[in-house]
Amino acid sequence: MTDLICLGEPLFELSACPDGSFKGGFGGDVSNVAVAAARQGAEVALVTRIGGDQFGEKLRGLWSREDVNHEYVETASGEDTGLYFVFHDDHGHHFVYRRKGSAASRMLPTQFPENVIPNTGMFYTSGISLGVSPELRSTTLHAIQTAHRFGTPIAFDPNLRTALWPLDKARQITHEAMRKCNITLPGLDDARQLTGLHSPEDIINFYHDLGADIVALSLGADGVSVSEGQGIHTIPGVMVQAVDATGAGDCFNGIFLSAYLKSKDVVKSTELANRGAARSTTGYGAVDTIPYGKT
């Protein structure tokens, strides 16, 4: 039985380094989550489409090396794999995407392998998967509905990207999808925009009211607040020499889900994921710095 099934768009990454060069790597939030969970020992499978190009081949190579099952990843001949660039300045990291019309963005609900859902411990997807394109949005909503129908737990990161779609539309569709989700993994900045609320306590209560059993709210450098609906535990941030926060939230999600699937201990899973996410910010790129094993 597969522990975790992830649905979304993988991307090839080009990260700007201090010397002006670009470091090639890998990204796409759900692919990052899949790798992070696999590095913690979870059995993970990815469902998506990639282009019939060198970038798609490199992503398959990554998943093979990381023991992420990619048998449900279709290679679309004549289509492109999405790309993104990461630039850094005093205000943090900034993304420039080249993903419009990518193979993953063209994935249709009929291409989602429903048979994988009954044999998995959890299904994971995100707000980015909803925002990339109307096609991938329909596929993602179909997958959420399928998991809900089979009683498979659903984990979801709202992962707001206003470059992909307007805030009002993102808020409406994301919140409707989240009514079927069991575990919610928002970041504080995204959650403030989506909910219109400010305090972590109010945001956590909002997501519980939507239907989530577990809410783990990332607070950036201040740590994580997590709740199962009976009080909030706040785990403080870990002091590190951070240089690139790209993918830190995805790293947190993958480690958290892997640990929770094994232990069902929310607080310990959060503590482990909090440490791992902090460590992932000490180098460049979304994947290279994801830790292996216990962090």
The per-residue pLDDT for range 221-272, each reduced to its tens digit, is 899 999 999 999 999 988 888 777 778 899 999 999 999 999 999 999 999 9
Among candidate residues 190, 73, 58, 216, the one with its CA nearest the CA of residue 131? 190
- Render pLDDT for 120-174 as a digit per residue (tens, 0 to 9): 999 999 999 999 999 999 999 999 999 999 999 999 999 999 999 999 999 999 9
Task: CATH number for 2-280: choose from 2.40.110.20, 3.40.50.720, 3.40.1190.20, 3.40.50.300.
Answer: 3.40.1190.20
Burial grade of 264 (CB within 10 A; 0-12, 13-18, 19 or more): exposed
Q: What is the CA radius of gyration of the chain?
A: 17
DSSP state of 47: E
Provide the CB-side half-sphere exposure for 142 (13 A, CA): 15
Instruction: For tokens 């783990």, name the residue.
Output: 216
Instruction: Identify the three-state secondary structure at position 80.
Output: coil
CB atoms within 10 A of CB 174: 22
The domain spans of the chain are 2-280
